[in-house]
């Protein structure tokens, strides 16, 4: 056999052998599809919708300020309809203890809002809540921080991981305000940083849709925005902390504003 023909024959044999080897090693299409199959996000997460997208069924609030349009809950203050005191749209179907909460929100530049949880309703002011709040504001100066409405005030600014403790003194007659300075609870220790506040702010889209995600377990309270951890509180203040309570959406008294919430979901971890 001529040398050129022999060489060509050997090359063809090597090529056919490599094809055979590859076909033996490659997974079947069916196996590949099985390896890539995963649960749908809804099934994997276990969240349940608590807003039907059409009405305020299951919620209570001042209907002069709250309504539903195009699948969203809207809270709005106008010049013609000012608000005298912070008002909440309160979920009526439970007082979550250990849970995760997710919702999308959009807020006007002048807006001030938040998601309250483990809260109690006041009987002196209509639709007012007292308790933990995942803060939201239109200028994103405070969005993501942990602010306790009508109670201990700021427990963690955006970018802070804190441990909150009880006051040193035992004289309860002094009241909570005796331990608040510059709108922040003083028996608080910053134990680590989650990032600079301004840097974390870049993850929040102004006047656009964002996702708030609360992970509340025991005395650890985590606030995420768009998947980024913005603040974390470990509340060791057994005198003043709450371990369960009401859930609500806030509109804050002040200039005309508008806040919208949609895709509101809850997963109870009790």
What residue ranges define each of the domains in the chain, with the CATH number in brackets? Answer: 41-268 (2.60.120.560)
Q: What per-residue confidence (pLDDT) applies to 193?
A: 98
Residue with tokens 């806030």: 250
Q: What per-residue confidence (pLDDT) applies to 73?
A: 98
Q: What per-residue confidence (pLDDT) applies to 168?
A: 86
Rg of the chain over all Cα atoms, to the nearest angstrom: 27
Give the pTM.
0.83
Cβ-based neighbour number of residue 138 at 10 Å: 19
Model pLDDT for residues 133-186, shown as the tens digit of each residue: 999 999 999 999 999 999 999 999 999 999 999 998 766 678 898 999 999 999
Nearest alpha carbon to residue 73 among 214, 248, 245: 248
């Amino acid at each position: 056999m001529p040398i050129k023909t022999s060489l060509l024959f050997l090359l063809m044999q090597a090529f056919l052998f490599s094809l055979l080897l590859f076909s033996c090693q490659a997974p079947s299409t069916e196996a590949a599809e099985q390896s890539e199959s995963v649960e749908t996000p809804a099934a994997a997460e276990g969240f349940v919708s608590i807003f039907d997208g059409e009405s305020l069924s299951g919620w209570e609030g001042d209907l002069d300020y709250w309504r539903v349009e195009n699948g969203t809950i809207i809270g709005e203050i106008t010049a013609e309809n000012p608000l005298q005191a912070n008002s909440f749209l309160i979920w009526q179907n439970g007082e979550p203890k250990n849970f995760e909460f997710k919702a999308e929100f959009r807020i006007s530049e002048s807006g001030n809002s938040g998601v309250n949880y483990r809260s109690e309703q006041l009987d002196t002011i209509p639709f007012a809540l007292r308790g933990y709040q995942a803060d939201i504001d239109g200028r994103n100066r405070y969005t993501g921080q942990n602010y306790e409405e009508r109670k201990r005030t700021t427990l963690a600014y955006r970018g802070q991981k804190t441990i909150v403790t009880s006051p040193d003194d035992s004289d309860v007659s002094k009241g909570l305000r005796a331990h608040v300075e510059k709108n922040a609870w003083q028996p608080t220790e910053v134990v680590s940083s989650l990032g600079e506040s301004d840097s974390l702010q870049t993850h929040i889209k102004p006047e656009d849709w964002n996702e708030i995600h609360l992970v509340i377990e025991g005395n650890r309270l985590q606030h995420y925005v768009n998947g980024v951890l913005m603040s974390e509180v470990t509340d060791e203040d057994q005198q003043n902390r709450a371990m369960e309570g009401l859930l609500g959406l806030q509109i804050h008294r002040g200039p005309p504003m508008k806040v919208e919430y949609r895709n509101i979901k809850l997963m109870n971890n009790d």
